[in-house]
Amino acid sequence: MLKLKLYTAIACVALFSIATVSYAAAIQTALVERKTIPSVRYLSAQIEAVRQATVASQVRGRILEILVDIDDYVKKGDVLVRFRDRKQRAAVKSAKAQFIEAQSDYSRIKEIYAKRLVARSALDKAEARVKSARAVLEQANESLENTVVHAPYSGIVVKRHVEVGELANIGQKLMTGLSLETLRASVELPQSIIHKVRQYKKARVYLGENLDMPVEVSSMSISPYADPLSRSFTARLHLPQGDHRVYPGMSTRVGLTIGEELALLIPRQAVAYRGEVTAVYVKNKKGIITFRQIRLGHRHAENEIEVLAGLSEGEKVVLDPIRAASLIQQQNAQGKIE
């Protein structure tokens, strides 16, 4: 009976060992590789709005309604301000009546001219009156349309210059707003790297709460001259259109390509975060998996990150840290049984 229990225990250990080895062999790994990556200079920058405008009154009149206020988000075409429009509506009604009358006169004189009962000059005068009446009507319609002020683009209202009931003159400021769809990062470049930055013209802006979301800039413009005091060049890095959840005035970080260098890279999914410890699970040639602390650098591709310390070229890291942790527990349990 004792021998039977011993044989059963040995068989269980053997099966457990085989299962563990098989499990380790099946787990996916990635090779730690040394690759050529851009050499990057990191600098502090500030987010700016590319499109910022102040909407002004195009009519003289009393402000009847203000539909938005500071910090409100508006879409392109939304109504911002309404003016009292009784005078403009009356002007449109009068201009329309004159235009109809001019058209009627022109049609009547045209029929008479066809019968050669009036001179050509009478027809020309009638046609000129139609054109003049049409111009007056178009101008009246435009004045009526200008009593309703629309947002020229989507964005945020940052300043309101008028109040309800106020009499506004033509050209008076009404609202100031900026667009969040077209943003840029403004950065001061030291003269020591200006030639390299101009050569490569490639940069990333780091966004997000922890500045961990690199976004490739769509274009870059660099001042052709340096500031005489700081000896720095102003560069504006334009972000691709979209909602990046950043606002003008926010500070950020930019990475500007100034050359190339070699670096160890691993897939980001292989990185495990355990409290304040950053680590990976390394699988050796015997299939044993170990937990190893590393020091990371910057992200350089969509799914790759630089390793500054803790790994060597040619080693293998496990792509699924959760499964790797479970496997280590099995390895430890197997060691205790043995």
pTM, two decimal places: 0.58
**pLDDT > 60? residue 39:** yes
Residue at 101: amino acid letter? E
DSSP label at 133? H
What are 96-148's pLDDT values in tens digits?
999 999 999 999 999 998 888 888 999 899 999 999 999 999 999 999 999 99
pLDDT value, residue 159: 92
Longest dimension (CA), the chain: 136
Report the C-alpha gap between 141 and 147 in whole angstroms: 10
**pLDDT > 60? residue 53:** yes
pLDDT value, residue 335: 57
**pLDDT > 90? residue 173:** yes
Q: Tokens representing 171? A: 């050209």
For the chain, report the end-to-end CA distance as a whole number of angstroms.
22
Report the C-alpha gap between 111 and 91 in whole angstroms: 31
Contacts 24+ apart (CB under 8 A), 20-26: 20/327, 20/330, 20/331, 20/334, 21/287, 23/327, 23/330, 24/283, 24/287, 24/288, 24/289, 24/327, 25/287
**For the chain, what is the mean pLDDT?**
85
pLDDT value, residue 337: 45
Contacts of 335 (CB under 8 A, 6+ apart): none
- Residue among 183, 146, 164, 145 nearest 55 (CA): 146
Q: Tokens representing 284? A: 């050796």
- Where are the alpha helices (H) located in the chain, listed in sequence order? 2-26, 86-114, 120-145, 194-200, 321-337
CATH number of 27-36+263-337: 2.40.420.20
pLDDT interval class at 40 (50, 70, 90): confident
Burial of 2 (0-12, 13-18, 19+ CB in 10 A): exposed
**pLDDT > 70? residue 23:** no
pLDDT value, residue 331: 67
pLDDT interval class at 160 (50, 70, 90): very high
The answer to whether 73 and 156 are in contact (CB under 8 A) is yes
> Between 301 and 172, where is the model more confident?
172
- Domain 41-50+181-260 sits in CATH 1.10.150.110: no
**pLDDT > 80? residue 5:** no
**pLDDT > 90? residue 234:** yes
Report the C-alpha gap between 63 and 164 in whole angstroms: 5
The answer to whether 336 and 39 are in contact (CB under 8 A) is no
**pLDDT > 70? residue 302:** no
Domain ranges of the chain: 27-36+263-337, 41-50+181-260, 54-178
Report the C-alpha gap between 141 and 130 in whole angstroms: 16
pLDDT (average), residues 74-96 = 94
pLDDT interval class at 326 (50, 70, 90): confident
pLDDT (average), residues 198-220 = 84
pLDDT interval class at 269 (50, 70, 90): confident
Strand partners, 306: 265
Tokens 């200008």 -> residue? 146
Report the C-alpha gap between 190 and 188 in whole angstroms: 7
The answer to whether 290 and 304 are in contact (CB under 8 A) is no
Return the top range by mean pLDDT from 37-41, 208-212, 233-237, 285-289: 233-237
The answer to whether 74 and 172 are in contact (CB under 8 A) is no
pLDDT (average), residues 163-178 = 93
pLDDT value, residue 107: 93
Torsion over CA: 52, 58, 63, 64 (sign): negative
Report the C-alpha gap between 245 and 47 in whole angstroms: 11
Q: What percent of the chain has pLDDT over 70?
A: 89
The answer to whether 175 and 160 are in contact (CB under 8 A) is yes
Residue 193's alpha-carbon distances to 201, 233, 237, in angstroms, are 12, 10, 16
**Options 1.10.1740.10, 2.40.50.100, 3.90.1150.10, 2.40.50.180; CATH of 54-178:** 2.40.50.100
pLDDT interval class at 30 (50, 70, 90): confident
Report the C-alpha gap between 322 and 310 in whole angstroms: 20
pLDDT interval class at 270 (50, 70, 90): confident
